[in-house]
Amino acid sequence: MGITVWVTRDFAHMSEAAAGIAVRKTIDILKHKSEAVLGLATGNSPTGLYKHFARAANEGKFDAGRIRSFNLDEYAGLPGEHAQQRLLHPESYAYFMIQELFGLLTKKFIETSVPAGSLIDQKILIRELRQNKNDWEFRGADAGKSIVINARPKSAYLAWIRKDILGGYERKIRAAGGIDLQIIGVGGRGHVAFHESGIPFQDSRVLLVKLDDNTIANAVADGHFKTRAQSPQYAVSMGAELVYRAKTVLLLANGARKTESVTRSLLGEVTPDIPISWGQKYAEQGGELIYVLDRVAAEGLAAKRGELKRRGVVLKNLA
């Protein structure tokens, strides 16, 4: 279906425009299906969209009670004595979604799902990885790497993670009929969720990721966690291969930190160095890819209008 890039003035305008697209898509989906399946992201980028989306639901523009959602990722290793404490930790992505979207809805979704990273005990995970080095391997060309667990590991704990935590989430999405509309942000290096720069595309459906040391250090420096020991070292995440199986992918980006990765994702080669560059292949194979950017994030693309047109990318300026 191709690629469309909408250029907006600023974060507020980006949020409003993206929410308008998400609301229209949801209304259209519900005209043809009994349920709409949404893929949701955390981070700053979609927060404005979520407020507009919740308001539209509460005003009756669509029936929130016919929506099922799946989040992109969740930490594994949040502080807490048990899974419930970790799930409701103020830095968990489940908690974020309650604050930013689910808690704003008058009528709740049918079901909301987040990867079950909170079920993983980080101390046990570290021990099992250390004691069963033949059960798994790192994949990735940079500091953040996926941990690929063998099909038949000796460790029962790692086997459980592979089958139930990772495979189980993919199976649940498949059982729901796949994702109709996937909302994503983008990291400064072009990563989506915790599919970090350098992690291969192949077999990247649901990942167990060892976080970049710099990511952990920044989480402490920014005040999210008091010490490195309290900061998660791992996460469970959809990978690009699964993200770009949605019928429509709606990507939001704003600010100068995103300009280079956004530009390279559409004008450069398809490479794991820029995980969102897989969107080019996705669009070629019939997926609908929509970028909603502020003027700063769109600068590199706006300067190459001719190349975008040659590649079949439609640029629409709302700024």
The DSSP line for 106-174 is: SS--SEEE---GGGS-HHHHHHHHHH-GGGEEEE-SSSSEEEEE-SS-S-HHHHHIIIIIIHHHHHHHH
Q: What is the pLDDT of residue 229?
A: 81
- The Cα-based distances of 107 to 19, 55, 188, 207 in angstroms read 18, 11, 35, 32
CA angle centred on 120, ends 240 and 101, rounded to 5°: 60
Q: Please compute Rg for the chain using Cα positions.
A: 19
Closest to 7 measured CA to CA, from 311, 307, 303, 306 = 303
The identity of residue 78, as a single letter, is L
Q: For the chain, which residues score pLDDT lower than 50?
A: none
Domain assignment of residue 304, given as a range: 2-317
Closest to 80 measured CA to CA, from 63, 59, 94, 61 = 94
Q: What is the pLDDT of residue 228?
A: 85
Q: What is the pLDDT of residue 213?
A: 81
Report yes or no: 43 and 185 within 8 Å, Cβ to Cβ: yes
Q: Which residues have a Cβ under 8 Å from the Cβ of 50 and sit 6 or more positions away?
A: 100, 101, 104
Q: Which residues have a Cβ under 8 Å from the Cβ of 67 and sit 6 or more positions away?
A: 26, 35, 36, 37, 38, 109, 110
pLDDT digit string (tens) for 105-130? 999 999 999 999 999 999 999 999 99
Q: What is the pLDDT of residue 35?
A: 98
Q: What is the pLDDT of residue 39?
A: 98
Q: What is the pLDDT of residue 219?
A: 80
* Nearest-angstrom CA–CA distance, 151 and 159: 8
Report yes or no: 234 and 209 within 8 Å, Cβ to Cβ: yes
Closest to 249 measured CA to CA, from 280, 274, 270 = 280
Residue 295 is given by DSSP the state: T
Q: Residue 68 pairs with which residues in a beta bridge?
A: 37, 111
Question: 83: part of which helix (H) or strand (E)?
Answer: helix 83-87
Looking at the 3D structure of the chain, how many domains does it have?
Answer: 1
Report yes or no: 25 and 248 within 8 Å, Cβ to Cβ: yes
Q: Residue 136 pairs with which residues in a beta bridge?
A: 149
Q: What is the pLDDT of residue 113?
A: 98
Backbone angles phi, psi at 44, to 5 degrees: -70, -35
Closest to 3 measured CA to CA, from 319, 310, 233 = 310
Q: Which residues have a Cβ under 8 Å from the Cβ of 202 and sit 6 or more positions away?
A: 241
The CATH number of whichever domain residue 214 belongs to comes to 3.40.50.1360
Report yes or no: 253 and 293 within 8 Å, Cβ to Cβ: yes
The identity of residue 273, as a single letter, is D
